[in-house]
Chains A and B, each alone.
Chain A
Amino acid sequence: MNGSRAKFLKVFLSVIFLLFIVRLYDLQLHRDIEYKKQAEGNSVRTIQHDPIRGLIFDRNGRIIVDNVPSYTVTITPNEFDTKNLDALAKILKVDKKYIIDKLSSAPSQFSQVKIRRDAPMRAIAYIEEHRDELKGVDYIVEHKRNYRNPGFASHILGYVKEITPNQLSIYKGLYKPGDQIGHSGLEKSYEPLIKGEKGYSFIMVDALGRFVGKYNDGQNDISPSEGSDLVLTIDIELQSFIEQLFGDKTGSAVVIDPRNGEILAMVSKPNYDLTMLSGYTPIELWNLLNSDPKKPLLNRAISGLYSPGSTFKMILAITALETGAVDLNWKVYCPGYFVYGNKIFKCHTSHGHGWVNLTKAIEVSCNVYFYNLMLKVNFDDWSKYGWLFGFGRKTGIDLPEELGGILPSTEYFNKIYGVNKWTKGYLISLAIGQGEISATPLQMACYAMALANSGKYHQPHLVKKIINKKTGKVEELSYYTREIPVSEKTFEIVREAMYLVVNSPSGTGKAAKVEGINVAGKTGTAQNPHGNDHAWFIGFAPYENPEIAFAIIVENAGFGGAVAAPMAREIVKKYFEIKNQKTEFKLAKW
């Protein structure tokens, strides 16, 4: 027919097919990698399997913390119908805004966002019953921390909580939103070991997100590995006993084994129940805990700073003896007060102690003696010995919140007040551990340990062993030990004086005396500008061959000998009771 029209049609046909080939070339040969990635993202979904956190045992192998299943409600944002928001907020007992916030922070519209951890069983039942209406709402089984002794040892253990946006940016890549992370205590310091490794499985889903099969037959899946278990140095029986001993009192107690630095008990009061923080924590509860003037979340044992009071007199005594400033024959007459310049410094008995030497001064805690002694020693020598006994610096305990306290020196005062802007009068309060000096109960316990050991200072620690679940091996941890360069003779004098504090009729710490066990110690009163003074008692037992060293502080309790010393007695008694029980048990078993 018409040849030119046939040609036109052939040209038209060729142009269309050429266009297709060019386009196919672009899609399949030029941009194929990009589309392959998109296809994989389309069809392969990654499911994260949270590892099981390691367990925490006490020194005797009793479980303190384990895990229990908990339901976490999730929402897939693109499937979720916002008209269900009210109903969901109601059954989950959260704010509508809480859910909206969680949804808006979702990294993907197509994958599940964890909305509410530790959802009540009734909510799960409701979701099951209303699956058709609650599109996009589902739940997964996770684990939450379970505390076998609720309320006990909470500060040491610390809490586990959903990661904050701030932490997410710090640990880039290691965590994902919705992950749990140790926020305080041992859960924080041992987080890398205890958390375990996340597992992933890769599944194929269809366009509706329905499970179709495993990707590559599951060969690429990574199974989660359990976190390592921690075996603590804590004796949960002793810990609970001391916590109960405190009752409603505010304060702290640290009990340490002077032979190796293992902490047997670390109490901080008031405390809080970790169970409340282990699942979902309503914001009101948070605010309550944070705004409580008694600061229950504060671990006083390592973050509470107190003046050491008279317990610090041994540092001055050691300084004087070691530098040869005085000996036991050097005596001071105590009339009950001390005058320096135009200032009067009081002793704690108005009638005075009469003539006292170093031993007696420690026994009766004579302030006047130490005021005089402070003027006889070099200030920086005193600072040096304070430093050697662990003051003014962190002990290095395996907890994240430790503070180092203040130990003044010439350099320190020059910095604070300026060179020559301060006088020796500033030092007089320091003689009796008051003024610009502060320490944590842990530092005090370690100080007691060093005195008990005649100078052996072990790094205090809470974790004895780590049980690696992957290898099945038990890893013993090593900690530092250092020798304080103080002569045996000096220690003998100071230790004997501390023995007399408890065991002499005129000693200030008589209340700590235990029948059959020789306790040595020192009372102290930390002046408190905000209220009643805090009562200190530090010590160790048995005197001859110490097995425990301790520091106890009771806030606003006044004189140390009256409140803290009797608690020390109970602690020592309990310790030996437990010890004897154990040996009896061992014998019986034998």
Chain B
Amino acid sequence: MVRGISDKIDFKILAPFLCLIIISIISIYSATKLPGQTSIFIKHLLWIFSGLIIAVFFYFFPVQRLTDLTVWLYLISIVFLIVVLFVGKKISGSESWIQIGKFQFQPSELAKFTSILILAYFLSRRNVEPENPLTLFIAGILIAIPVFLTILQPDFGTAIVFGAIFIGIIFWAGVPVFWIMLLIAPIILIIASFLSIKIFILTSILVGLSFLLMRKPLILTIFIIALNLTIGLTSEHIYHKVLKPHQQKRISTFLNPSSDPLGAGYNVIQSKIAIGSGGLTGKGFMKGTQTQLRFVPAQWTDFIFCVPSEEFGFIGSVVILTLYLILLWRVINLASMLKQKFASLVAIGIFSMWIFHIAVNIGMTLGLSPVIGIWLPFLSYGGSAMWVNMAMIGLLLNFYANRRELN
């Protein structure tokens, strides 16, 4: 009987997920325990319970039905992304919310999910050859549409998430590494160009070497390297001409947070103080001064990691990281296990999205990555993201349960 349950339910996904949800409830409670903010906690509980229903729904939803609906779901999410540009509600500089009555939701969260589905759907079609450049081109267009629409909001952070999903899925689909390198090399060089000349030169050499190692024709390799260097060198111009001031500021404060202690860098300084002051065992539940006294901005959304990290210290932080590691590791194994290409690609798309969110979000609270306003899966407050993540958990459990049928 026990074997029967573990055959139907992947506890290596369910258990860390449920633990993270419990940690989330504790953290949000601690972060919002001030007069006038308790409604956030109540809402958070509502999002979790409604999200669990969605998870159950996706657990039982036939995968074949989902495959059939994928194109429609994708189109609907694109329509929402267009609509939000006209009726969107502005929150911290970006028009990314649609308000329907009292209910707000972010179409871009839905689009993350549907983009994973559409890419998996496209790349799992029988006649699609991953080595064919046309495949990469069509896949590129499918992801470029939501990327373009979220940049218009403008929500730079979410746009990059689509990129991460895209890279993860095409990598798993078997697109040659050379093509992927062609795509990510300029991005790496642009980031490097903002850090310092030394880092830029070092990165350029590494990128150049990687291309040389791929043993493509020398002329092509030289051309690619030259093109990448040009992009890297002109990125600063683009930074000043194309990016919005709040985006510029985010990048510049990432590079030197203490330059503007009360501006954008303030968040990072305060979150590092919160985490660092937690020490080995933390200050105790509800006793984190940084949290309780509101020194960390957006502490129940983007900077939620500070809360358990301050109150439960290094031990608490490592527990959370371990839970994420177990979950993500399992998703890779699940994706490897699944014979059906669509399901496998969806699993890796979900993995790509989560690993990017986790890496950037926790990295930002630790001062390792730029302050890009993206949530931490399962821990951050936020209905749209919670629902999408719950749907994904339901879907992954669904894949596991039906792993033998999915061929």
Partner of B272, one of A10, A35, A36, A44: A35
Name the one of A10, A12, A17 contacting B321, with C-beta atoms under 8 angstroms: A17
* B295 within 8 Å of A (CB atoms): yes
Q: Is A31 an interface residue, CB under 8 A from the partner?
A: yes
- Cβ–Cβ contact B355 & A43, under 8 A: no
Interchain CA distance A6-B332 in the complex, whole Å? 6
Task: Give the docked Cα–Cα distance between A2 and B339 (Å).
Answer: 11
User: Is B188 at the interface (CB under 8 A from chain A)?
Assistant: no
Instruction: Select from chain A the residue with minimum beta-carbon distance to B336.
Output: A6
Does any Cβ of A come within 8 Å of B84's Cβ?
no
Please determine whether B273 and A24 come into contact, CB atoms closer than 8 angstroms. Answer: no
By the criterion CB–CB under 8 Å, are B273 and A35 in contact? yes
- Interface size class of chain A, counting residues whose CB lies under 8 Å from the partner chain: 35 or more
Query: What would 9 more interface pairs be, CB under 8 Å, given A35-B276, A206-B294, A207-B296?
Result: A1-B335, A6-B335, A9-B348, A9-B351, A17-B324, A28-B275, A38-B276, A204-B289, A206-B295
- 8 A–B contacts from the bound complex (CB under 8 Å): A2-B172, A23-B366, A24-B309, A28-B309, A32-B279, A39-B273, A42-B289, A207-B296
Q: A2-B174, A5-B172, A20-B362 are in contact. Are A38 and B321 (CB under 8 A)?
A: no
| B interface, over-half SS | helix
Q: Kindly state whether residue A21 has any CB partner on chain B within 8 Å.
A: yes
A29 to B277, CA, bound (A): 9
Residue among A6, A23, A36, A207 making CB contact with B293, cutoff 8 Å: A207
Cβ–Cβ < 8 Å partners of B272 in chain A: 27, 35
Q: Per-residue 0/1 for A534-553: is the Cβ within 8 Å of any B Cβ (1 yes, 0 no)? A: 00000000000000000000
Inter-chain CA distance A325–B297, complex, in Å, is 95
Is B122 in the interface zone, CB < 8 Å from A? no
- The one of B277, B366, B367 that contacts A32, using a Cβ cutoff of 8 Å: B277
Given contacts A17-B321, A28-B314, A43-B290, contact A10 B329 (CB under 8 A): yes
Centre residue among A6, A205, A208 by max chain B CB count within 10 A = A6
A28–B290 CB distance below 8 A:
no
The interface on chain B, measured as residues whose beta carbon lies within 8 A of the other chain's beta carbons, has a size of: 49
* Those 5 A-B pairs whose CB atoms lie nearest each other, nearest first: A35-B276, A39-B277, A43-B289, A28-B314, A32-B279
Partner of A29, one of B280, B295, B309, B321: B280
Quote the shortest CB–CB distance from A264 to chain B (angstroms): 59
Asked whether B172 lies within 8 Å of A39 as measured between CB atoms, the reply is no
Q: Is B325 positioned at the interface, with any CB of A under 8 Å from its CB?
A: yes
Q: How far is the CA of A9 from the CA of B329 in the complex (A)?
A: 9
Q: Name B214-234 residues within 8 Å CB distance of A.
A: none
A28:B279 contact, CB within 8 angstroms? yes
List residues of A (1-51) whose CB comes within 8 Å of B's CBs: 1-3, 5-6, 9-10, 12-14, 16-17, 19-21, 23-25, 27-29, 31-32, 34-36, 38-40, 42-44
Docked complex: B96-110 residues within 8 A CB-CB of A? none
Give CA–CA (A14, B351) in the complex, Å.
14
Task: Name the A residues within 8 Å of B314 (CB-CB).
Answer: 24-25, 28-29
Within 8 A of A (CB), among B357-376: 358-359, 362-363, 366-368
Whether, in the assembled complex, B344 has its beta carbon less than 8 Å from a beta carbon of chain A, the answer is yes
Q: List B235-274 residues whose CB lies under 8 Å from chain A.
A: 262, 270, 272-274
Decide: A36 and B279 in contact? CB cutoff 8 A.
yes
Closest to B281 in A: A28
Beyond A1-B336, A206-B295, whether A39 also contacts B275 by CB under 8 A is no
A residues 182-212 near B (Cβ < 8 Å) are 204-208, 212
Does A481 have its Cβ within 8 Å of any Cβ on chain B?
A: no
Give the chain A neighbours of B278 by CB distance below 8 A.
28, 32
A78 within 8 A of B: yes
Complex contact A28–B280 (CB within 8 A):
yes
**In the assembly, what is the distance between CA of A233 and CA of B355, in Å?**
83
Chain A positions within 8 Å of B186 at CB level: none
CB within 8 Å of B: which of A439-481?
Answer: none
B356 to chain A, nearest CB (A): 10
* Cα distance A31–B366 in the bound complex, in angstroms: 13
Q: How far is the CA of A496 from the CA of B30 in the complex (A)?
A: 92
**A31 CA to B314 CA, complexed, in Å:** 12
Instruction: Give every chain A residue within 8 A of B321 (Cβ-Cβ).
Output: 17, 20-21, 24
Q: Kindly state the separation between the CA atoms of A500 and B338 in the bound complex, as whole angstroms.
A: 130
Q: Which of A24, A36, A42 contacts B366 (CB 8 A)?
A: A24
Nearest chain B CB to A385 CB, angstrom units: 73
Rounded to whole Å, the gap between the CB of A93 and the closest CB of chain B is 32
Most buried by A among B297, B336, B338, B368: B336
